[in-house]
Chain A
Amino acid sequence: MSYSFYPGCSAHSTGLEYGLSTLATFQHLGLELEELDKWNCCGASSAHALGHHILSLALPARNLAIAQEAGRDLVTACAACFSRLKGADHTLRNDPEVRDEVESVVGFNFTGEVTVRPVLAVLYEDCGLEKITAHVQRPLTGLKVVTYYGCLLVRPPEVTQFDDPDDPQVMTELLRAVGAEVKPWSYATDCCGAGLSLSRSDIVYSLVDRLTERAREAGAHAMATACPLCQLNLEMRQSSKSKMPVFFFTELLGLAFGLSEVKNWWTKHLIDPRPLLRSVGLAK
Chain B
Amino acid sequence: MTNNMISEAMRLSGQEIELCYHCHKCAAGCPIVDAMEYGPDRLLRMLALDQRDAVLRSRDIWLCAGCYTCATRCPNDIDISAVMDALRQLAVTEGYPAGERDALLFHKLFLGVVQRLGRSHEAAMLGLFKILSRVPIYRDLGSGVALIRRGKVPILPEKSGAAPEVQQIFRRSK
B66 adjacent to chain A (CB < 8 Å): yes
Contact-residue size bin, chain B (C-beta under 8 Å from the other chain): 35 or more
Cβ contact within 8 Å between A196 and B32: yes
A156, chain B: closest CB distance, angstroms: 5
A residues in contact with B21, CB < 8 Å = none
Cβ contact within 8 Å between B69 and A16: no
Once the chains are docked, how many angstroms separate the CA of A9 from the CA of B157?
11
B15 adjacent to chain A (CB < 8 Å): no
Within 8 A of A (CB), among B130-174: 133, 135, 139-140, 143, 146-147, 150-154, 158, 160-162, 165-166, 169-170, 172-173
Which of A13, A50, A165 makes the CB contact (< 8 A) with B154?
A13
A245, chain B: closest CB distance, angstroms: 14
Once the chains are docked, how many angstroms separate the CA of A55 from the CA of B112?
13
B residues in contact with A55, CB < 8 Å = 169-170, 173
Q: How many residues of A contact B (CB 8 A)?
A: 54
The interface centre, meaning the residue of B68, B158, B170 with most chain A CB atoms within 10 A of its CB, is B68
A29 adjacent to chain B (CB < 8 Å): no
B residues in contact with A277, CB < 8 Å = none
B residues in contact with A54, CB < 8 Å = 173
Cβ contact within 8 Å between A268 and B169: no
B8 adjacent to chain A (CB < 8 Å): no
- 28 A-B residue pairings within 8 Å (CB atoms): A9-B119, A40-B118, A46-B106, A49-B66, A50-B89, A50-B111, A51-B86, A58-B173, A59-B114, A62-B166, A105-B173, A151-B68, A155-B69, A155-B71, A190-B31, A191-B32, A191-B67, A193-B65, A195-B65, A198-B129, A198-B135, A198-B140, A199-B103, A199-B133, A199-B135, A207-B31, A236-B140, A236-B143
Binding site for A on B (CB under 8 A): 12, 31-32, 34-35, 63, 65-69, 71-72, 79, 85-86, 88-90, 92, 100, 102-108, 110-111, 114, 118-120, 122, 126, 129, 133, 135, 139-140, 143, 146-147, 150-154, 158, 160-162, 165-166, 169-170, 172-173
